[in-house]
Amino acid sequence: MRRVFAFLLVVCGCGGDDPAEDGVTLAITSPVAGAQFERATLDSVGALVATVPMEVAVTGTPMRVAISLGGADVGPLSAEGTATATIPAPGPATLVATAFDEADQPIATAEVAIEVVEPVVANCHAFLDLVGQEYTVAPATRGIVDPVSIKMPINGVPFRSGSGLRTTMLADCSLAKSLVLAAPHWRKRGIVEVTDLGVYNYRCINNDGTPPNCTIGLSEHSFGNAIDLASFKDMAGETYVVNDDWVIDPDDHTCTAPTEPGKDAFLHEMICEIKANKIWNIVLTPNYNTLHRNHFHVDLTAGSDFITRTQIDEGDHGHASANDH
C-alpha cells in the first residue's frame, strides 16, 4: 500500500547564514494521511474519544514542539518524538505539529489529516461491553424488547430513586446506552449523583386507562425506553432540583429562552446540550405541562425530535409522540 506522508512546511530559524545549520524542520511520520481511528476509549469524564499515537521527525533544536487540533493544544511532543492525541468528535481532523524558538515563536509546522469514526459494534450489548459498563441480561419483561439490568454506577454516575441509591436499573438496552452517553455531560459539570422518579412502568399515558385499553396509548415507560430525571447533585453537595429550580419559560423555545442566573441556567444548559447531541429523541421539561413540573421526561421514541417550550393542556400532546409520558 502506498504511504502518503503529511504536508510539510519548513521555516528556517534566524541568526545564521546557512539555513541547514540553524534550520528546524518537522515531519509527521505517523499517522499517515487519511488514516481512520475509532472513538473506542473513554476520557476522564467518560466520553468516547479516539486515541491517536503520533510520531514526529524533528531536525534542528527547537525549544519545544507542541501538537494541536483546531487551534487547541493537545499536548507536547516527547523527547523521543512521540505524542498521543485524544479526539472527541467524529469526522475529519487535522493534527498540527508546531516547533517554537526561544521567544516561543513558531518556526516550523507539519500537519496530517485523518478521520475519526464511530466504533463498529454488533449490537447494544456490544456497545456496553466496549465502554466497560456492567450489566446482565434481564428476564423477558412485558413491553421491553431488549431488557437489561444495568449495574450502578452508569459510566461513573450513581442514580438514586425514592427508595435510596440504586444498585441496578431495569431498562431496554437502548436506554442504558443513552445514559452511558449522557453521563459525560453530567460529569464535566461536576454532577456526582442523579435522582430519577422511575424507568420501567407498564402503563397508559397519563395513567389514562388500564393496559392494553389505553385512551391515548402506552407510555414509553412501558417499553423501558424512558426515564424521569428529578435532580442532580454536584461534588460540592449542591443539588439542582427540577421542581424548585427550573423557571418556566414564558416565550420562545426551551433552549433559546432567557434563563435566570444560577440553577435555572444550569438546568437549561445541561438538558439542552444533551438534547442537541441527539442522545434522546424526546425531552419534556416543566414547560410542557403541569404533569412534568418536577422532572425531565426523556425517551427514545423512534422518529421524534422534541424539546419545544410550548405549554399545553394535560390531554393535548401537541407535536410530541403519543408515547411520551
Instruction: Determine contact, residues 180/172, Cβ cutoff 8 Å.
Output: no
Which are the contacts of 103, defined by CB distance < 8 A and separation ≥ 6? none
pLDDT band, very low/low/confident/very high, at 314 (cuts 50, 70, 90)? very low
* Mean pLDDT of the 132-139 span: 98
Q: Is the pTM of this model over 0.75?
A: yes
Which pLDDT value is given to residue 162?
A: 86
Q: What is the DSSP-derived secondary structure letter of residue 243?
A: H
Q: What is the DSSP-derived secondary structure letter of residue 185?
A: H
Q: How far apart are CA 218 and CA 214, in angstroms?
A: 7
| Cell digits of residue 179 | 445514559
Task: Map residue 175 onto helix, strand or coil.
Answer: helix
Q: How far apart are CA 120 and CA 127, in angstroms?
A: 9
Is 318 a residue whose pLDDT tops 70? no
Which pLDDT value is given to residue 255?
A: 93
* Mean pLDDT of the 269-275 span: 97
pLDDT tens sequence across 282-312:
999 999 988 899 999 999 999 999 896 554 4
pLDDT band, very low/low/confident/very high, at 213 (cuts 50, 70, 90)? confident
Q: How far apart are CA 238 and CA 247, in angstroms?
A: 18
pLDDT band, very low/low/confident/very high, at 87 (cuts 50, 70, 90)? very high
Which pLDDT value is given to residue 3?
A: 30
Please report, for the chain, the start and end positions of each structural domain, with discontinuous segments joined by +: 7-117, 124-299
Fold of the domain built from segment(s) 124-299: Muramoyl-pentapeptide Carboxypeptidase; domain 2 (3.30.1380)
**CA nearest neighbour of 228 among 218, 238, 242, 216:** 242
Phi, psi (deg, nearest 5) at residue 250? -80, -25
**CA nearest neighbour of 155 among 106, 120, 192:** 192
| Cell digits of residue 17 | 547564514
Fold of the domain built from segment(s) 7-117: Immunoglobulin-like (2.60.40)
pLDDT tens sequence across 41-75:
999 999 999 999 999 999 999 999 999 999 999 88
Is 243 a residue whose pLDDT tops 80? yes
pLDDT tens sequence across 146-180:
999 999 999 999 999 988 999 999 999 999 999 99
Which pLDDT value is given to residue 253?
A: 82
Which pLDDT value is given to residue 325?
A: 55
Residue for grid cell 421514541: 301
103: region left, alpha or beta (phi > 0 left; psi from -120 to 50 alpha): alpha
Q: How far apart are CA 182 and CA 161, in angstroms?
A: 18
